[in-house]
Chain A
Amino acid sequence: MTCLPAHTDKKLGLVIDLDTCVGCQACVTACKEWNTGGHMAPLTDIDPYGAHVDGVWFNRVHSYEHTTEMGGRTVNFPRSCLHCETPACVTVCPTGASYKRASDGIVLIDESKCIGCKLCSWACPYGAREFDTDVGVMKKCTLCVDRIYNDNLAEEDRVPACVAACPTSARHFGDLDDPASAVSQLVAERGGVDLMPEMGYGPTNKYLPPRAHTQRAASVPAKALEPVRAEGGFLGWVDRMLSN
């Protein structure tokens, strides 16, 4: 059903810390690896060993150079489905293949209904949808719906593969509808932002901006060093110190 649920019980999503992401691609391949055998399997790779290699991925990491008057910074930027509150990718779907779950807010595709018209990928401003030309259907991030509730995994492993893998702890997961949840608090604390808020899709996933060149930056209140005063200069100081 491509009409959106009036209300979702939860808003499950990710919080991505751009201050901490080193661009190591761990989340990218962990996602690929889980999902190529998961709910939307396979994540087909065309010409995998040739010139025009092109595969389906649910999560990709860009890098940017962000330059402001305060200085420049290289920013690694993971991009995946944001599981929007009002996702146009769902409403444009003519077949009901795309849908937003009323229970947890995850945006999914029912592959058996997908005709591969690609309109959802046009409607998504974030590039979160990836077309599998081999199967002829659209695929996308499932927020690891086959992990987070999976009875066959140990309870501690029931988080999205990208969150489990991330070596710098730059990825967080939880219910962003619940202001008391750890992720909501993290977003509040660190000034998390929406991507393209002007689109009005209400992305669930939030991004924590880099701290360098802001008031949140780590700083050391060090006073400038002064040469040791008095007789003998530094060596005199050493002698006095040792005599104390």
Chain B
Amino acid sequence: MMDRQSRGANSAPSQRPLADTSAPDEGDGVDTSPAVSDRVAKTTCYMCACRCGIDVHIKDGKVRYINGNKDHPVNRGVICGKGSSGIMQHYSPARLKKPLLRSGPRGSGEFREIEWEEAFSIATERLSAIRRTNPKKLAFFTGRDQSQSLTGWWASQFGTPNFAAHGGFCSVNMAAGGLYTIGGSFWEFGEPDWDNTRYFMLFGVAEDHDSNPIKIGLGKLKARGAKVVSINPCRTGYNAIADDWIGIRPGTDGLFVFALIHELLKAGRVDLDYLLRYTNAHVLVIQEPGAADDGLFARDSDGNPLAWDRVAKRPVNAADADAKPALTGSYDIDGRRCVPVFQLIADRYLDESYSPDAVAGRCGIPADTIRRIAAELAHVAFEQTIELPVAWTDWAGRRHQTIKGRPVSMHAMRGISAHSNGFHSCRAIHLLQVLLGTVDVPGGFRFKPPYPRSAPPGPKPAGKNVKPMTPLDGMPLGFICGPDDLLVDEAGTPLRIDKAYSWDAPLAAHGLMHTVIRNAWAGDPYPIDTLMMYMSNMAWNSSMNTVETMAMLTDMDEAGVYKIPFIIYSDAYYSETVPFADLVLPDTTYLERHDCISLLDRPISHADGPGDAIRHPVVEPDRDVRPFQSVLIELGTRLGLPGFVDQDGSAKYRDYADYIVNHERMPGIGPLAGWRGRDGDAIGKGEPNPDQLQRYIDNGGFWHQDFAADQRYYKMANRSYLDFAVQMGFVPKAEPIVFQLYSEPMQRFRLAARGHGRGQPPEAERSRIETYMDPLPFWYMPFEEAAVDLKKYPLHALTQRPMHMYHSWGSQNAWLRQITSQNRLFVHHQTGAGLGLVDDDWVWIESINGKVKGQIKLIDGVNESTVWTWNAIGKRRGSWGLKDDAAESNRGFLLNHIIGDQTSADANGRRYSNSDPVTGQAAWFDLMVRIVKCAPEEAGFTEPQFERFQQPPNVEPAPDILRFGAEFRREREAAE
């Protein structure tokens, strides 16, 4: 068990202060006890998405130093390379200073400064006209938003379904893959049991989410000597320290996992007891080809799924805790053939096409390695079982004297999600975990509250009935269970601008922000009036097909009107997207604002208990900028959106801080769960507490509740936990959460494709739906690889974010950019030798979508058929406060230029978004390229190049020399 008493992750005896920290009498005049700061403010970091606790040391109103908060559940005192560089982000020369109104052509960067009042009135007038006529004409997409419970609710109150954040090009395959299977997911919503696991597998894990917790965890595994296996084409970062690095070919993880499953099944190394208790493995599936309910669960008259009782030899309620269900066989129920889910699983994965020998070549992994890994998994799961001496009670009231665990854990991220087969690959990994009995058990993969939820969780997305001046009847994003929940009209046309929840992307739980610009430009499915975006660099590294994206943003119709008529953008910095806005609302830095890291959104929970956190202003802005969330609330008030005004039309919330404290989504449930109730003694549910923010500040900026020992595992079926979850509002009822190895909602789509039911896909979409909405996970070749001539484009091309950078932000940071200001293309030595390339050569990297030029570095630690580079280092000249000669815009390159945003045309000539067909996740890891040495005169600079952006008014040029910190020393020495 984790020692929750110890403060700080780095508290081993070899990391503590000296036994006696009094300064020795050296006599060298060194001031060993300089004053550090006047005060320390504890808030939440925003240098990436991890949301660690930080102590900000302020000296004379300036930020002197930022370190990790030792009490904080996320980072426990450690801080990453980005977090320590927050000072340089806070004082970045790229900070916007005042609201801007476009004064030149869109995309030029010519603006004039305006007052906030003018900015508000322009926005209010425009949005209010949209709301009065057709609210769908507002598309509101919020990028790297950490306040989605506010922004989504705002969109809902406005009445537009066209809302999402950046999850569609980030993580939705993992979110949907997990939530439709186990009711929880990888990414930062679950974590390995770092203290107990003995065998840890990372699949395509990048260092960009949950990074400090993963790093702390890896440190624990290393200290204990647990085995770390990484499955990743690249051998950098976490993969560098793996005991076993499996340099897999991109996009074949699912296949590799099926081969492991094949081996485990063949050897009888699966946890049947676990399957029976916690999954739908025993549920009977109707096998009647042609019937409207073929492939759905056999149910009793109350709608409960059935299982076959081996002893009683009759169908029983599958949820009956006392039944003895069969896992195999074929049974006759009312004259219909039914088989348990597990039989279907065995039938599929025992097939020789999933044997190690069959997949080895395609995965680029020797069959013996696959067999060895399977054997190791089985050994640790079944021979090294652990038992915690803690008694607990399951949902059915059965008392267990110990908590049993199989110490195999897995984690998966970007390498799985960013492929067009990512949803199924993610489900494959969950299937493997569940077959081994390792989900939410000691030593396994653990849920972080508020997960697990039912698979899939409710509610469904709103947006079917959009009316002027009317809020939606729910939130724009949610989870659908069948074709009837889709947001499409009678003809099957998408209702959302991003085509989420349409036949193109049925389970698009995070929306498809990456399709918005193209769709809005093309008026497909309909034209919009205003695109409002927050903090997402859509004109550069956040889009696929950057060159065309920029053209679409500036394209006009015959009348000289922009095809996307109006763009409102909010950001704190002068990114590549700001120049494409008509109205710019300058945001504050993370040290100047209120925020809440809410359980309604993306909380900071730990597997050992829920938590949430705030940001609060620790320094005053020195510019005329305002936090976007407060601006949004003000806009909501001016528009008179129902949730934002009282009966008399007056503002319901003064600003975001006021909203955080006083907003109630449901009675008693607000953005923050800690210190609720008038006196602050309630958690989860309770009246708003006017002192709530102060209580958070007093507690170091966060709230965290530790579970009792018996609530920490088997949360999907743990009565004590489930009761707590109901009390907190995580789940509506204390019912067990059944892992859906076989996904009935997906089968409903297949049935629709076969002509059953009310909502059916258009003819042209039927075979696609039939193929990809398979209720059991399967593997298919990523779309681009399947479409291109592999002789011409033989190499997979990937990007990784350096651990010291977050998206494009890092390059404006004087410290971080020194570490990486030029990215190179990493090429395997063999591949390089075959092409006659040597280190530092300049090459064209060419795909079917275009070509980009960069410099190479030959390495060994990469899959031979893969090349990769650091993401978002290449910058457009004139952005991010960088000088024109900066390496970023002269030698660095952006791979996004050659990633298509659409698939190649299919047999019907139809081009889809370059996305996973199930969830709509952007498939930017599908890219296939070739590399060609460039001509001597082409060497030395990157291409394509774009016109330099004009600088916003009153921007101070970046300094030639930075002496940050000299002032603290001067003051110290003056004081002596």
Direct contact of A and B (CB under 8 A): yes
List the A side residues contacting B235 at CB < 8 Å: 72-74
Most chain B CB atoms below 10 A, which of A24, A63, A145, A235: A24
Tell me which residues across on chain A come within 8 A of B272, comparing CB atoms: 238, 241-242
Closest CB in chain B relative to A24 CB, distance in Å: 4
Judged by a CB distance under 8 angstroms, whether B104 is at the interface is no
Residues of chain A within 8 A (CB-CB) of B244 are 212
Check if B328 sits within 8 Å of A238, measured CB to CB: yes
| A190 CA / B819 CA spacing, docked (Å) | 30
Using Cβ atoms and an 8 Å threshold, which residues of chain A touch B30? 39, 108, 145-146
Interface: B648 (CB within 8 A): no
Determine which of A23, A37, A172, A219 lies in contact with B65 in the assembled complex, contact meaning CB atoms within 8 Å.
Answer: A37
CB distance from A239 to the nearest CB of B (A): 6
A104 CA to B18 CA, complexed, in Å: 11
- A28 and B813 alpha carbons, distance in the complex (Å): 14
User: Which of B5-13, B675-683, B705-713, B916-924 touches A?
Assistant: B5-13
Shortest distance from the beta carbon of B879 to any chain A beta carbon, whole Å: 12
B544 within 8 A of A: no
Give bound CA distance, A22 to B202, whole Å: 14
Set of chain B residues within 8 Å of A67, measured between Cβ atoms: 860
Interface string of A1-39 (1 = CB under 8 A from B): 000000001101001010111111110111011111111
Q: Least Cβ distance of B963 to chain A in Å?
A: 5
Residues A50 and B310 in contact, CB atoms below 8 Å apart: no
Q: How many angstroms from the CA of A163 to the CA of B10 in the assembled complex?
A: 8
User: Is B818 positioned at the interface, with any CB of A under 8 Å from its CB?
Assistant: yes
User: Are A158 and B342 neighbours in the complex by a CB distance under 8 Å?
Assistant: no
- Within residues 643 to 676 of chain B, which ones have a CB less than 8 A from any CB in chain A? none
Chain B residues within an 8 Å CB radius of A155: 17, 21
Report yes or no: B958 in contact with A156, Cβ–Cβ below 8 A: no
Is there an interface contact between B327 and A182, defined as CB atoms closer than 8 Å? no
> Shortest beta-carbon distance, A43 to chain B, in Å?
7
Q: B890 to chain A: which residues have CB within 8 Å?
A: 51
B902 within 8 A of A: no
Question: Taking the complex as formed, is B35 at the interface, i.e. its CB lies under 8 A from any CB of chain A?
Answer: yes
- Known interface pairs A49-B93, A155-B21, A237-B268; A76-B815 also in contact (CB < 8 Å): no
Q: Which residues of A contact B329 (CB under 8 A)?
A: 239
Residue pair A44, B14 in contact (C-beta under 8 Å): no
Interchain CB contact under 8 A, B22 and A149: yes
Q: A29-B816, A49-B881 are in contact. Are A165 and B79 (CB under 8 A)?
A: yes
Cα of A12 to Cα of B18 in the assembled complex, Å: 9
Chain B residue nearest in CB terms to A159: B17
Interface flag for B903 (CB, 8 Å): no
Q: What's the minimum C-beta distance from B369 to chain A, rounded to whole angstroms?
A: 12
| Count of residues in A whose CB is under 8 Å from the partner chain | 110
**A222's contact among B212, B372, B861, by CB below 8 Å, is which?**
B372
- CB neighbours (8 Å) of B212 from chain A are 167
Report Cα–Cα, A166/B8, bound state, in Å. 11
CA of A167 to CA of B816, assembled, Å: 17
Of the candidates A29, A53, A65, the one whose C-beta lies within 8 Å of that of B81 is A29
Q: How far is the CA of A26 from the CA of B54 in the complex (A)?
A: 14
| Interface presence of A194 (CB below 8 A) | no
Name the contact of B860 in the complex, choosing from A72, A104, A226 (C-beta under 8 A).
A72
B117 at the interface (CB under 8 A from A): no
- Does chain A have a CB within 8 A of B84? yes
Residue B337 is within 8 A (CB to CB) of chain A in the complex: no
A155 to chain B, nearest CB (A): 6
Cβ of B443 to closest chain A Cβ, rounded Å: 14
Minimum Cβ distance to chain A for residue B548 (Å): 29
* Chain A: CB-nearest residue to B68: A165
Interface centre among A48, A186, A235 (most CB of B within 10 A): A48
Given contacts A30-B84, A48-B814, A222-B376, contact A22 B215 (CB under 8 A): yes
- By a CB distance below 8 angstroms, the chain A residues around B25 are 103
**What residue in chain A is nearest B342 (Cβ atoms)?**
A238
In the assembled complex, which residues on chain B have CB atoms less than 8 Å from the CB atom of A183? Answer: 14
Distance between Cα atoms of A134 and B963 in the complex (Å): 9
**Chain B residues positioned under 8 Å from A185 (CB to CB):** 14
Q: Identify the stretch in B259-267, B358-366, B581-589 within 8 Å (CB) of chain A at 4 or more residues.
A: B259-267
Whether a CB of chain A sits under 8 angstroms from the CB of B547 is no
B319 sits at the interface (CB 8 A): no
User: B26 and A101: CB pair below 8 A?
Assistant: yes
B219 at the interface (CB under 8 A from A): yes
Interface size on B, residues (CB 8 A): 130
Contact indicator A53/B240 (Cβ below 8 Å) = no
Inter-chain CA distance A217–B802, complex, in Å, is 27
In the complex, B120 has a CB within 8 A of chain A? no
Residues of A within 8 A of B403 (CB): none
Cβ B243 vs Cβ A218 within 8 A: yes
CB distance from B881 to the nearest CB of A (A): 6
A110 on interface, CB distance cutoff 8 Å: yes
Instruction: Identify which of residues 221-249 in chain B touch chain A, using a CB-to-CB cut-off of 8 Å.
Output: 222-223, 225-228, 235-245
Q: In the complex, A157 Cα to B78 Cα: how many Å? A: 11
Q: Taking the complex as formed, is B754 at the interface, i.e. its CB lies under 8 A from any CB of chain A?
A: no
Q: Shortest beta-carbon distance, B431 to chain A, in Å?
A: 16
Interface membership of A119, Cβ < 8 A: no
Q: Are A65 and B861 within 8 A (Cβ)?
A: yes
Assess A156 versus B379: contact at CB under 8 Å? Given A24-B237, A25-B803, A173-B14.
no
Determine the chain A residues whose CB is within 8 A of the CB of B859 once the complex forms.
65
- Which of A104, A145, A234 lies in contact with B265, CB distance below 8 A? A234
Q: Whole-angstrom distance from the CB of A244 to the nearest CB of chain B?
A: 10
A140 CB within 8 Å of chain B: no
Beyond A29-B804, A44-B962, A45-B962, whether A225 also contacts B222 by CB under 8 A is no
| Residues on A with beta carbons closer than 8 Å to the beta carbon of B26 | 101-104
Q: Decide yes or no: A48 and B958 within 8 Å by CB, A73-B240, A168-B216 being known contacts.
A: yes
Contacting residues of chain B (15-48) with chain A, CB-CB under 8 angstroms = 15-18, 21-26, 28-36
Complex alpha-carbon distance, A48 and B91, angstroms: 13
Residue-wise interface mask of B (856-874) relative to A, using a CB-CB cutoff of 8 A (1 in contact, 0 not): 0001110000000000000
User: B130-138, B149-157, B463-471, B964-972: which one contacts chain A?
Assistant: B964-972
Inter-chain contacts of A197 with B (CB < 8 A):
none
Docked CA distance A75–B235 (Å): 10
B778 → A minimal CB distance (Å)? 19
Query: Do residues A146 and B32 form an inter-chain contact, with CB atoms below 8 A?
Result: yes
Complex Cα–Cα for A19 and B225 (A): 11
Which chain A residues lie closer than 8 Å to B264 at the CB level? Answer: 225
Nearest residue (CB) in B for A169 is: B219
Name A30's contact: one of B22, B67, B961 (CB within 8 Å): B67
Contact with B along A134-171 (1 / 0, CB 8 A): 10000000000110111111011111010111111111
Contact of A45 with B238 in the complex, beta carbons under 8 Å: no
| Best-surrounded residue of A57, A75, A170, A225 (most CB of chain B within 10 A) | A225
Q: Is B348 an interface residue (CB 8 A)?
A: no
A211 contact from B12, B243, B815, B968, Cβ within 8 A: B243
Q: Closest CB of chain B to A197's CB: distance in Å? A: 22
A228 within 8 A of B: yes
- Residue B375 interfacial (CB < 8 Å): yes
Asked, given contacts A20-B218, A222-B378, whether A74 binds B236 with beta carbons under 8 Å apart, the answer is: yes
Cβ of B12 and Cβ of A169 under 8 Å apart?
yes
Closest residue of chain A to B380, judged by CB? Answer: A220
Residue B101 interfacial (CB < 8 Å): no
Which residue of A has the minimal Cβ distance to B215? A167
Q: Is the CB of A173 within 8 A of B15?
A: yes
Bound CA–CA A168/B79 (angstroms):
10
Given A22-B218, A75-B240, 6 other A-B contacts at CB below 8 A?
A: A24-B237, A28-B81, A33-B815, A108-B30, A167-B78, A235-B328
10 residue pairs bridging A and B, Cβ less than 8 Å apart = A26-B81, A37-B969, A65-B860, A73-B235, A158-B21, A169-B222, A172-B15, A174-B18, A220-B379, A237-B268
A interface, CB within 8 angstroms of B? 9-10, 12, 15, 17, 19-26, 28-30, 32-39, 41-51, 53-55, 57, 63, 65, 67, 72-76, 99, 101-104, 108, 110, 134, 145-146, 148-153, 155-159, 161, 163-175, 181-183, 185-186, 210-212, 217-228, 234-235, 237-239, 241-243
Q: Which 6 A-B pairs have the closest CB atoms?
A: A25-B81, A103-B24, A222-B379, A167-B215, A36-B965, A49-B958
